[in-house]
Structure 1
Amino acid sequence: MNKAIADIRKEYASETLLEKDIAADPIQQFQRWWTQVLAAEVPEPNAMILATASADGLPSARIVLLKGFDENGFVFFTNYQSFKGTQLDENPKASLVFFWKELERQVRIMGLVSKLPAAESDAYFQSRPIGSRIGAWASPQSQVIENREWLEQKFDERKAEFSNEDVPRPPHWGGYMVKPVMIEFWQGRYSRLHDRIQYTMEENGAWKIERLAP
């Protein structure tokens, strides 16, 4: 007999997250956790949920890959004409979520979104595998297409077009920066008494640190 969904549970007890141990800046705290998640060899640690919303508030979420972060924010790349790109044009705010189950940790980020400068998008695009670069030209992301064969035909056409030259970045493809206004670090604890530390950006640019009830 299959186990009831409501009966699926896990007790968390591997680590703690205490105020005395955290960094004063959330990006520095993220860097600490990022170093640890890499050392733990967690599969695809840069996979994150990206949640966006249209102007009328319709939400949408999907998995994308983090491609960089620094004191300015968190970076990902996509097709500007995709569904998420359209929503970001209408409402340039987003939320990111990382879940590293092996370390019983979650990071939740809310922020303001802007496009990266073209030069930065160009540089990253040229670092991608050739097939991914051609695919960015071939795929009208999020649009309805006839079938798989249609997509593969478009890929072959673009592959032939760029056979004797470098593949430039399409004008409809590039990077976004999510500049955080709130970052929450969640550490699983026993009896669901999880540690939750929230950093909130204040008007003067300083970070306010608070503990949240689990």
Structure 2
Amino acid sequence: MFTGIVEELGEITAVENLDDASRFRVRGPVVTEGAKHGDSIAVNGVCLTVVEHEGDEFTADVMAETLNRSSLGALAAGSRVNLERPTAVGDRLGGHIVQGHVDGTGEIVERKPSENWEIVKVSLPADLSRYVVEKGSVTVDGVSLTVVDAGPDYFTISLIPTTLALTTLGIKQPGDPVNLEVDIIAKYVERMLGDRAHAGSAAAPAPAPAQEATK
């Protein structure tokens, strides 16, 4: 589990395209400290498994499903990426509960700079819009953020200077894809309410047959 608090801005140093997957080599001095084979590291919000670790770099295999459902397929050598290690038991939950399982992708629609922050508008797939609410949480490229405004096909986020300087959201431009992960609690609530409604409908007694009126 992650919290959406990016630890460092890393870099893709190599991409090897395989038959039905890709192997990424990623540089990240902070997240590779003490890393070992089998550890998890979130790359732009996608939970990947460390295959090899050498110096300040690690490699991870990315299967076709992940490449198709996330923006990782657009990465190349030189791309900057947000990196985060899983949270440890007992640590503070600085952002919100993030699984590293991308629900879909959006695009940066526009940026509106201000003196001390920047408002960024992000497109939102129709099947995810019901999970995104004003002042709720959303993960964009692995960054835990608060939704400022939520529309049927977009949402906006307000980025402080720290986020702009230390994550990819400071360099993304209109048209660039971003990974989206909605609040897992919202999805569980929807599923439980749906199951309860289904169970209630199944348990409802069948209506009694109409009887002929007697004189």
Normalising by structure 1, we get a TM-score of: 0.24
* Bigger helix share: 1
Work out which structure has the larger RCO, using CA pairs closer than 8 Å and 6 or more positions apart in sequence: 1
* Bigger strand share: 2
Normalising by structure 2, we get a TM-score of: 0.24
Q: Which has the larger radius of gyration?
A: 2
